[in-house]
């Protein structure tokens, strides 16, 4: 897919891998919207690449819908969606202070896995509503960021590993479902 002049959104784009991804997409000619709960980080990345910054909570459907609408208004319909938003909370299943609080596990899974699915489903819906970009039927591409921790988690990474294992597991069936309709998922 030639991404020049196509609209791209990057979650977690205010820092780390998300910011690097936003920079790479902009360098390749995409029109990038940087999504992050860290509004200042998103603004810094967007300013550096000539993109748009939007505060977005990937776990909130309305927040993602509003962010996609802002991106669409500025750059056109999303054709590239990269999910880099994620959190890491190191905690043992049973540590010195007892069992890991269930809220800790739930929060990591909610942000990393459910947030990725939320962005994927809404971006795919927007992509599928568009005409194909070319004779190959391409409508868009979705990149879900997992981690080697999905398969090789370390002590203290149960929540993170489970969330990233879930991201890896959801990507293949989503790819099988959406590929015949012109949306690649990886």
**What residues are annotated to the active site?**
160
- Considering only CA atoms, which of 165, 11, 150 is closest in space to residue 22? 11
Given CA atoms 15, 18, 21, 22 in this order, what sign does their dihedral have? negative
Q: How many CB atoms lie within 10 A of CB 37?
A: 20
CA geometry: angle at 104 spanning 124 and 43, to 5°?
50
Contacts of 8 (CB under 8 A, 6+ apart): 25, 30, 31, 32, 33, 75, 78, 79, 80, 81, 82
Residue 146 backbone phi and psi in degrees, to 5: -105, -145
Question: Could you tell me where the beta strands, DSSP code E, fall in the chain?
Answer: 7-11, 31-36, 52-55, 78-83, 94-95, 98-99, 140-144, 183-185
């Amino acid at each position: 897919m030639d991404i020049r002049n196509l609209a791209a959104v990057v979650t977690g784009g205010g820092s780390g891998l998300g910011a690097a991804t936003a920079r790479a997409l902009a360098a390749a000619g995409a029109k990038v919207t940087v999504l992050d709960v860290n509004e200042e980080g998103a603004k810094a990345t967007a300013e550096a690449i000539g993109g748009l910054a939007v505060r977005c909570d990937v776990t909130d459907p309305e927040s993602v819908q509003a962010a996609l609408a802002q991106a669409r208004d500025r750059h056109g319909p999303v054709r590239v969606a990269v999910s880099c938003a994620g959190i890491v909370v190191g905690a043992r299943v049973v540590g010195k202070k007892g069992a890991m609080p269930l809220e800790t596990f739930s929060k990591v899974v909610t942000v990393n896995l459910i947030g990725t699915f939320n962005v994927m489903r809404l971006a795919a819906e927007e992509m599928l509503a568009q005409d194909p970009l070319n004779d190959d039927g391409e409508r868009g591409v979705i990149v879900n960021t997992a981690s080697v921790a999905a398969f090789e988690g370390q002590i203290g990474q149960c929540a993170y590993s489970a969330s990233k294992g879930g991201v890896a597991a959801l990507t293949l069936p989503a790819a099988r479902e959406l590929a015949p309709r012109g949306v690649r998922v990886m």
